[in-house]
Amino acid sequence: MSKLFDLDWTIFICMLLLCGIGGAIIGSVAPTLLLPQIVFYLFGLVLFLIFSRLDYHLYSNLAPLSYVISIVLLLVTLLIGFETRGSVRWVSVFSFKLQFSELLKPILVAVAAAFLSTRPKTSPAVLKILVLIAIPTLLVFKQPDLGSALVYFVGFFAMVFASGVEFGYFLAIILSGLVILPIGWKFLADYQKLRFTAFLNPGFDPLGTSYNTIQSVIAIGSGMFFGRGLGRGTQSHLLFLPEHHTDFVFASVAEEFGFVGATFILILYFILIWKIFNLALRSKDRMGLLLGVGLGTFLLIQVFVNIGMNLGLFPVTGITLPLVSYGGSSILATMIGLGILENVAKNVKEGDKIIHIV
């Protein structure tokens, strides 16, 4: 029993506090969803403890099979998933709605870490790995889920950099991305193009495309320093703020808990992400390093983009706030990822050794 709770307490406590805030705000703005959210947290905690005990080196042997299963599940989403607001992101399994693009994040990070841990040197090997990690990103983009595709792209990009790929290859990736970027605009859905237009011109269509962002900024501002109080947020409770329990949950937190509550969340994320990258740099081997970089970057981008979206600093992309927003797939994926990192932390304790990125 004592081994079960042999944890890195910084990660564990930050996770529990974020879940506590998430439960409190969901109970306030969407009380009918509180019980499912608690169930997600409890199931996620079980998965967290299980993955914290699994030796992360096992993922190297399971990588090929895990990759094939992941690609199949993403293809299944495109083929039989149901459409919601122009996107096909969810699949009904019994009475549950699963979002594989979320659930597969920690799995695909582990797969990419296994592929990259060999430190490919030749051009064919580098190209093969780039193609392998590009396929799931493109499948997620096809749903279309621009937010998750962005998380995949930046996360994998960071892992490629950390793997020690030669600078020439790295520069080629950057240049290829810049070339593809204008072409990618043509593949965006009409509503996604409108969101970018609204971002560049906040006054554009204030009752339509820009409405969500405008109401989010109003909610954050109305919270002032100490907030209106739990259960007293007018923007969320009067339904002026759309998606107040998912995409714009940070605005709900800021309205009810104020600047103090919003800052507390930012501090928790800062400590958690700092700890993850610190573990990555202290990992005993390259696999641990890449797992830390990948999972840390995935979490960092989600937090950065979601909060920026709530503040009107980024276009609306549909990225949820990890552990705080309502949603089982996101919660389970985040807790699995943190469980994997707990095992990395366990190995760091057993033999503290610095790995430098070269």
* Per-residue pLDDT tens digits for 130-139: 888 889 988 8
User: Residue 353 above 60 pLDDT?
Assistant: no
Dist. CA 171–CA 229, nearest whole Å: 50
1 inside domain: no
Dist. CA 246–CA 317, nearest whole Å: 12
Which strands form 96-98's sheet, in the order they lie side by side? 82-84, 87-93, 96-98
User: Residue 143 above 90 pLDDT?
Assistant: no
Q: 335 and 14 in contact (C-beta within 8 Å)?
A: no
355 inside domain: no
- pTM to 2 decimal places: 0.89
Write down the pLDDT at residue 355.
45
Q: What is the mean pLDDT of residues 225-238?
A: 86
Q: 111 and 66 in contact (C-beta within 8 Å)?
A: yes
More confident residue, 92 or 54: 54
Dist. CA 117–CA 166, nearest whole Å: 14
CA distances in angstroms from 306 to 66, 79, 96, 310, 312, listed in the order given: 28, 28, 25, 6, 10
Angle 103-344-278 from CA coordinates, rounded to 5° = 100
3 inside domain: no
2 inside domain: no
Q: 184 and 144 in contact (C-beta within 8 Å)?
A: no
Write down the pLDDT at residue 358.
38
pLDDT-above-90 percentage for the chain? 46
Dist. CA 355–CA 281, nearest whole Å: 6
More confident residue, 144 or 259: 259
Domain coverage including residue 232: 9-350
* Average pLDDT of the chain to the nearest whole number: 84
Quote the longest CA-to-CA distance of the chain. 60
**65, 120, 355, 357 alpha-carbon torsion, rounded to 10°:** -120
Residue where the block lists tokens 């958690």? 272
pLDDT-above-70 percentage for the chain? 82
Reply yes or no: is the peptide bond before residue 31 cis, omega within 30 of 0: no
Residues 21-69 pLDDT 10s: 999 999 999 999 999 999 999 999 999 999 999 999 999 899 999 999 9
265 inside domain: yes
Write down the pLDDT at residue 173.
67
Label residue 356 by pLDDT band (50, 70, 90): very low
Q: Residue 65's CB: how many other CB atoms inside 10 A?
A: 10
Give the closest residue to 324 by CA, choosing from 280, 272, 277, 275. 272
Write down the pLDDT at residue 306.
93
202 inside domain: yes
Write down the pLDDT at residue 293.
96
More confident residue, 65 or 88: 65
Cβ neighbors of 86 (< 8 A, separation 6 or more) are 144, 189, 191
**108, 111, 113, 117 alpha-carbon torsion, rounded to 10°:** -160
Q: How many structural domains is the chain composed of?
A: 1
Entry field: residues in the chain: 358
Residues 264-311 pLDDT 10s: 999 999 999 999 999 999 988 899 999 999 999 999 999 999 999 898
Buried b (16+ CB within 10 A) or exposed e, 146-176: bbbbbbbbbbbbbbbebbbbeeeebebbeee
In this structure, of 89-98, 205-214, 295-304, the range with the lowest mean pLDDT score is: 205-214
98 inside domain: yes
Sequence-distant contacts of 191-198: CB under 8 A, at least 24 apart:
191/85, 191/86, 192/144, 192/146, 195/315, 195/316, 195/317, 196/315, 198/315, 198/316
357 inside domain: no
User: Residue 119 above 70 pLDDT?
Assistant: no
